[in-house]
Amino acid sequence: MERRTFITRTGLAGAIAATSAPAIVHAQTALRWRLASSFPKSLDTIFGAAEVFAKKVGELSGGKFLISVHAAGEIMPAFGVVDAVQNATVEIAHTAPYYFFGKDETFALGCAIPFGLNSRQMTAWMVEGNGLKLMREFYHQYNIVNFPGGNTGAQMGGWFRKEIKSLADMKGLKMRIGGFGGRVLERIGAVPQNIPGGDIYPALEKGTIDAAEWVGPYDDEKLGFVKVAKYYYYPGWWEGTGQGHNIMNLDKWNALPRHYQAAIEMASRDTFTWVTGKYDYVNPPALKRLLVAGAILKPFPQEVLEACYNAANEIYADLNKTNPHFNKMYTSLSAFRNESLAWMQVAELSYDSFMMRMRTRT
């Protein structure tokens, strides 16, 4: 398989030149870009990813390429960033692409789909497989180029005001959920709501919605959901991982000097590692704190998971017939997923299962 990485050899060489040859950097005209995030400042990991990225770009460019970071709502709404980048209202945005699946369902495949890939699988498919190549082919029609900017790991199933004991309890339930998960819930009788992160708490508190999902314990604790909904379900079957992206106006990208492009590539890669590592480190203690605060941890009933799995596959079958972009990407993703699961069952699952059993004995 042809190796594809976020950093091409020429990109790395350009970045080295930018950092090791100050005369070249200082000869370059200073440049300022604006980055619009789809996330509120209170979420220091998912919003913080954009800050980490911008800081690294500045360092790699010797302070000549500066990117200012703006939270959702500061210069545009959370869900307005794709249009803004496409039209060059801003040069760059950091977002979860599945927010825009209403434009085209293919957007979701670069972020998360129900019963899709886990964190490591998404990384492998994006970097070594066809994921990044195919996503860029799709984005080209929107005048956008993208770089993965970190994934969250498997997410939680969200906060519910009442206990879910069976599939019948999902009927009529109003739930905040992003991306494809909402379409799956519709098929089993729930009512999805696509609400930006900063607006979820008041909607849940007032009873405008009955349930809400976001990411996982660390972010959910910051948003205060445990105060207004006690039942905390897992797993987030709609997000085996949530893949964030830096998306840029293609014309602006093409106009960049090569060493500035290399700085963006390298900073995206650094941010990618930081996001996953941060979530894996901060989620365990946050979950403990939530349980102390009164969260009631529950797995989804098996019949709910199976009904959602079947509904998701029905949706994919329909889209494969009607959406060529989706079909091309989903065919690649699902083929890799099946091969990867067979391997992970041999080594990863057996090792993890053993270590989890032994944890209680030490």
- 8 A C-beta contact, residue 110 and residue 273: no
3-state secondary structure 130-174: CHHHHHHHHHHHHCEEEEEEEECCCCCCEEECCCCCCHHHHCCCE
Whole-number pLDDT of residue 362: 67
Q: Is the peptide bond before 235 cis (omega within 30 degrees of 0)?
A: yes
pLDDT score of 241: 95
Strands of the sheet with 296-299, listed across from one edge: 191-193, 174-176, 211-212, 158-160, 231-234, 296-299
Structural tokens at position 19: 């950092």
User: Domains (ranges, CATH) in the chain?
Assistant: 9-152+240-281 (3.40.190.170), 158-238+294-338 (3.40.190.10)
321: its two tokens: 């017939």
What are 248's strand-pairing partners? 92, 145
Q: Is the dihedral of CA 251, 256, 260, 261 positive or negative?
A: positive
pLDDT tens digits in sequence order for the chain, 362 residues long = 444 444 444 344 444 344 444 434 445 679 999 999 999 999 999 999 999 999 999 999 999 999 999 999 999 999 999 999 999 999 999 999 999 999 999 999 999 999 999 999 999 999 999 999 999 999 999 999 999 999 999 999 999 999 999 999 999 999 999 889 999 999 999 999 988 888 999 999 999 999 999 999 999 999 999 999 999 999 999 999 999 999 999 999 999 999 999 999 999 999 999 999 999 999 999 999 999 999 999 999 999 999 999 999 999 999 999 999 999 999 999 999 999 999 999 999 999 999 999 998 86
> What's the pLDDT at 197?
85
pTM for the full predicted model: 0.89
